[in-house]
Chain A
Amino acid sequence: MADNKQIVELLKKASKETPTHAFWDTQPVPKIADEVEQSGPIEFKTLDDVRKDPLGLPGLFEWVEIDVNSQTELQDLYTLLNENYVEDDDNMFRFDYSPSFLKWALQPPHYYKEWHIGVRVKETKKLVGFISAIPADVRVEDKVVKMVEINFLCVHKKLREKRLAPVLIKEITRRVNLKDIWQASYTAGVVLPRPVAVCRYWHRSLNPKKLIEVGFSSLPPKMTMSLMIKYYRVAEQLKNATMRKLEKKDCESATALLNQYLSKYRVAPTFTTEEFWHWFEPRENVMTCYVKVDSDNKVTDIFSYYNLPSSIIGNQKHKTLKAAFSFYNVATTTTIKELIDDALLVAKKEEFDVYNCLDIFENDKFFKDLKFAVGDGNLQYYLYNYSTPLKHSSEIGLVLL
């Protein structure tokens, strides 16, 4: 992303366009234009301050917990998201998290079922709203903060702009507070009070023909498709020939390697071995993770990405766009560039159409050489009830799904 000055400008502009936030202005988050100099919680509360009963809903609706281990409830959640979750500007694509992805994303070690909150229509039981939290330890500057990651906030299209989102956010906050946790991290495409970092997606095309056919990317007139296809062909052989899928026996050393690597970023999670295995264990159509080990069988390099397709709205020929999203990568015996080159090769073999990557970590080191192109939308990182000075995207070491 651009330098801090430009980001400050961007935030100023955002605060002019939407000077008041009826909901967010009541929450423990800095104002958009605030200059923050120190890190720490914004408000301190105790369990006594937390409301014991759920927030009220209009009579037609009810709170439910979604049990993602129940096939039908998982299907309800999948349908809600599949039909109503994040779309692009022109409503041509919509994220299509698979049921197995959702199970994985929502059930890391020590998750709580109470934090998978749904809103149903009482009479028909139709699921019309959802929000979730999962526990995570995230270090901000030099303090490890026990917090949650908020994700999958979704309101059915027919119920938009009726202020259901703030109710969902307050209810999840209440339930998280009841477990004595007071901070959260989340990301969004909208600018709200107040980003910790403004990041941008970069894309490496793996199947240019399809990307063009579905309108995900464009081809100028008088530029041939043939040239594009030849230009984006990937290598046929791994640069690191010994890279292989992560196995359980690698966990100990891989966790240590990753935690060590993450320590150089200003906002980054810390993983226990158990959490590491949950997040990185190779799962078909969900997670791909490869490692390289040294002669003592210690992991020295890791690449990983998750599988998040988008449904293509109204295209006759193609129904989904298969996208790999870069997760955590560590290179010590090879360069980050060669490591990601290998990731691209594996992703191509797995028939992904595009490999997406945020400009967090040291990722901008390889964008140019590996033929990434910059995307058209920003992704903001946020912390709830924790203020910290604005960060450059390359100081962020945290990936939210």
Chain B
Amino acid sequence: MIESQFQKAVEYISKKSDHLTLSNEQQLYFYCQFKQATIGDINTKSPPFYDYIGRSKWNSWKSLEGIDKVTAMTNYINYLTKVAPNWIDTTQTPAEPTAQSVFEEDDPQEQQQQDKNKMGPVISRFSMVDQETIDELNKNQKEDLSYWVSMNSIDKVKEMINEKSINERDEEGRTPLMWSCDRGLVDIAKLLLDSGSNVNSQDNEGMTPLHYACVCTHKEIIQLLLSYNADKSIKDNSDTLPIDLLDSSSDSELIKLLN
């Protein structure tokens, strides 16, 4: 039965048996197939866009719209078999030899309890941008090419590239290429360059794509831009060269490249 196999797979994943560690992308894959298999098509509103993790979970689930539950279960099981080929064996051995159902309690009052206690998070995380700024950005949000670049969504980018959008500027004068350089998205940057993006355009502050790549020390992007003949002698409005923006700890190879 596919359902019971699916149940076992879910259990395996949630217990993280055998020290299985999953990358974020893998976790996301299991997450969305699980949702599609158990709930079906997405039934929640998109989380606010600053909720990066919530948003990527939501997007992944959304991308499965229309897929039936059995297919999602099958995907889930197949992928697990790929990342942990022996998972099925471990779920078939009955109990862990060390596992013991209940530890001795010398206090009889305690014996019957059983609502699962959930551990709260002690590792605290945060958003670096305050709510006001986020609301402000949210108001001006346009789902244009730059937006999809900043979301690292290469399919959408491909769909939206055309002669006009390729060098279109946002309110700050930034082009889609600058966004890809800021985010360190090599594949998208290359795609934009190959589609005719201007490698030396400057935004309202006079920054070029190379300036963006340098502030963020994205080495591969810097190399890519230079191979497309980016001009390293352009200064921004505060008279700063790309090289001046490098982190003080940057490696000498980078410095040489930009000199």
Partner-B contacts on A (CB < 8 A): 18, 20-23, 25-26, 55-58, 60-61, 83, 86-95, 121, 124, 126, 128, 157-159, 161-164, 166-167, 170, 188-191, 200-203, 205, 208-209, 211-212, 215-226, 228-230, 232, 310, 313-316, 356, 373-379
Knowing A162-B99, A314-B27, the reply to whether A377 touches B121 (Cβ < 8 A) is yes
Q: Which of B16, B27, B112, B123 contacts A22 (CB 8 A)?
A: B112
Minimum CB distance partner of B249 in chain A: A351
| Majority secondary structure, B binding face | loop
CB of B128 within 8 A of CB of A373, answer yes
B124 near A190 with CB under 8 A, answer no
Q: Is the Cβ of A314 less than 8 Å from the Cβ of B121?
A: no
The answer, among A21, A167, A217, A356, for a CB contact under 8 Å with B128, is A217
A-B contact pairs, 8 of them (CB 8 A): A26-B110, A55-B106, A95-B122, A128-B98, A205-B128, A222-B146, A229-B216, A376-B124
Does B259 belong to the interface (CB within 8 Å)? no
Q: How far is the CB of A118 from chain B (nearest CB, A)?
A: 15
Cβ-based interface call for B67 (8 A): no
- B163, CB-defined interface residue at 8 Å: no
B84 to chain A, nearest CB (A): 13
Task: Give which listed residue, A20, A92, A201, A221, contacts B151 with CB less than 8 A.
Answer: A221
Are A203 and B124 within 8 A (Cβ)?
A: yes
- Tell yes or no: B194 within 8 A of A by CB: no
Contact A221 B147 (CB under 8 A): yes
Q: Is the CB of B98 within 8 A of A159?
A: yes
Known A216-B125, A230-B215; contact A315-B100, beta-carbon cutoff 8 A: no
State which residues 124-182 of B face A: CB under 8 Å. 124-130, 133-134, 137, 140-141, 146-147, 150-151, 170, 174, 179, 182
Residue positions of B touching A, CB distance < 8 A: 15-16, 19, 21-24, 26-27, 49-53, 96, 98-107, 109-113, 115-130, 133-134, 137, 140-141, 146-147, 150-151, 170, 174, 179, 182-184, 207, 211-212, 215-217
A189-B121, A190-B117, A222-B147 are known contacts. Are A217 and B21 too (CB-CB below 8 A)? no
Nearest CB in chain B: distance from A324 CB, A: 14
CB-contact partner of A167 in B103, B137, B146, under 8 A: B103
Residues of A contacting B207 in the complex (Cβ-Cβ under 8 angstroms): 226
Distance of B196 from chain A, by nearest CB (Å)? 23
Q: Please name all residues of chain B whose beta carbon is closer than 8 Å to the beta carbon of A26 when the two chains form the complex.
A: 107, 109-110
Residues of B within 8 A of A163 (CB): 102-103, 105, 110
Complex partner residue of A83 from B19, B101, B118, CB under 8 angstroms: B19
Does B53 contact A226, Cβ atoms closer than 8 Å?
Answer: no
> A86 to chain B: which residues have CB within 8 Å?
119, 122-123
A215 B52 Cβ-Cβ under 8 A: yes
- Say yes or no: A315 contacts B24, CB within 8 Å: yes
Q: Are B51 and A189 in contact (CB under 8 A)?
A: no
C-alpha spacing A209/B24, complex, angstroms: 17
Contact residue among B23, B122, B126, B147 (Cβ-Cβ distance under 8 Å from A314): B23
- Please state if B109 and A226 are interface contacts (CB–CB under 8 Å): no
User: Within 8 Å CB of B137, what residues of A?
Assistant: 220, 222-223
Identify which of A161, A163, A228, A232 gathers the most chain B CB atoms within 10 Å of its CB. Answer: A163
A95 and B103 contact, Cβ closer than 8 Å, known pairs A221-B150, A222-B150, A224-B212: no
How many whole Å from B208's CB to the nearest CB in chain A? 12
**Residues from chain A with Cβ under 8 Å of B179 in the complex:** 224
Residue contact B121 to A376, C-beta cutoff 8 Å: yes
10 A-B pairs with least C-beta separation: A22-B113, A375-B124, A218-B52, A189-B122, A88-B123, A201-B124, A189-B120, A377-B121, A377-B124, A226-B215
Give the residues in chain A near B217, CB-CB below 8 Å.
209
Given contacts A161-B116, A222-B170, 9 further A-B contacts (CB under 8 A): A22-B113, A58-B104, A163-B102, A216-B125, A221-B150, A222-B137, A222-B141, A222-B147, A373-B128
Contact A218 B51 (CB under 8 A): yes
Q: Which residues from chain B contact A232 at a C-beta distance below 8 Å?
A: 128
Task: Output the nearest chain B residue to A89 by Cβ-Cβ distance.
Answer: B121
Contact call B104/A226, Cβ cutoff below 8 A: no
Q: Return chain B residues, CB-CB under 8 Å to A202.
A: 126
Q: Which of B21, B49, B101, B128 has the most CB of A within 10 A?
A: B128
Q: Which residue of B lies closest to A170 (CB)?
A: B106
Most chain B CB atoms below 10 A, which of A18, A161, A190, A225: A225
Interface centre among B21, B101, B111, B150, by most A CB within 10 Å?
B150
Q: Of B21, B100, B107, B170, which one neighbours A313 at CB under 8 angstroms?
A: B21
Q: How far is the CA of A60 from the CA of B99 in the complex (A)?
A: 9
**Chain A residues in 8 Å Cβ range of B112:** 22
Q: Which of A60, A219, A377 contacts B123 (CB 8 A)?
A: A377
CA A190 to CA B122, docked complex, whole Å: 8
Contact in complex: A166, B110 (CB < 8 Å): yes
- The complex places the Cα of A211 from the Cα of B184 at a distance, in Å, of 14
Of the candidates A26, A223, A310, the one having the most CB atoms from chain B within 10 angstroms of its own CB is: A223
**Nearest CB in chain B: distance from A251 CB, A:** 32
Q: Which residues of A contact B49 (CB under 8 A)?
A: 220-221
